[in-house]
Structure 1
Amino acid sequence: MKPDIFEKRITVSKEDIDFNGHVNNLKYLEWMINAAMEHSAKLGFTPEIYKKIGATWFAKSHHIEYKLPAFEDDKLIIKTWIDEVKKVTSKRKYEIYKNDKLICFGETEWVYVDYETHRPKKISDGVIKKYFKGE
């Protein structure tokens, strides 16, 4: 099965720029998490739906590597997808492009947890199937 790849286009705003004159490092993480949430919502998993099914996701770790800077008014494309699923965790990948060049990539390991207890919970097949397409 192939992952469902979500794409989001953004334009870098003045508020995204740090004292060095390029996009603030924390902004990339914010964009990645927002893209992940939008991807989930597109597939029918809004925060409200997760609450209804009694589960949610907690970030375990983030890894981001910066290759090239981005500046105000740059047009960027953020791509994200689920790369790997285990019993209670998944790895989500991210790539950010400017002018067809990869400028940043990252990965987040997410833990699927019970909404009430915050304890790890087995990821259901129904949830997994939404993030992957048949070949």
Structure 2
Amino acid sequence: MAENIYQKTIEVGAAVIDRNGHVNNVVYVEWMQELAIGHASTWKVDDLMAEQGTTWFARKHVIEYLRPIHLGDKIEARTWIASAERVKSLRRYEFLRNGQRVAQGETEWVYVDAETGRPKRIPEQMHSLIRTDD
């Protein structure tokens, strides 16, 4: 999995803090999407998708909040592709503060025809680019 991990550091600013004094729940989904896009850009999958008229749609997000994240925290955010089969891919995420996991999640992504929105088999070229663990 080590070669498949994409990570970035997030410094928690005031804009993402809710009235309970911690990071708002919807922000995690935004972070997950940013991580997925950043990770995919390292493989230049946009070129292949443009050529084939395809894209990825999120089918399902799951997030488990283990500890609250507060203003000023530095979070190590990681993502990797756990599996890819037929038309879907499972991407996992973890968020760590000082090496301790504070949240984790996953997104089920579906590969689709960009014009119709209908699922499309993930091409072999995509499999070779995304380097899954399966």
TM-score, normalization: structure 2? 0.92
Change beyond 3 A, Cα 1:3–1:120: farther
Shift of 1:69: 0.7
What is the aligned partner in structure 1 of residue 117 from structure 2? Answer: 118
State, as a whole percentage, how many aligned pairs show the same letter. Answer: 41
TM-score by length of 1: 0.91
2: CA distance between counterparts of 1:2 and 1:76? 19
Q: Partner amino acid for 2:11?
A: T
Matched residue, 2:25? 25
Deviations 1:63-104 (A, max 9, x none): 000001111110001110110111000000000001100000
- Gaps (5+ residues) in structure 1? none
Number of equivalences:
133
RMSD: 1.8
- 5+ long unaligned stretches in structure 2: none
The Cα offsets for residues 88-122 of structure 1, whole Å up to 9 and x where unpaired, read as 00000000001100000001001100111111000
SS at match of 2:36: helix
Instruction: Measure how far apart 1:125 and its partner are.
Output: 1.3
Match of 1:16 in 2: 16
Q: Hey, what's the Cα distance between the residues in 2 that align with 1:62 and 1:11?
A: 23
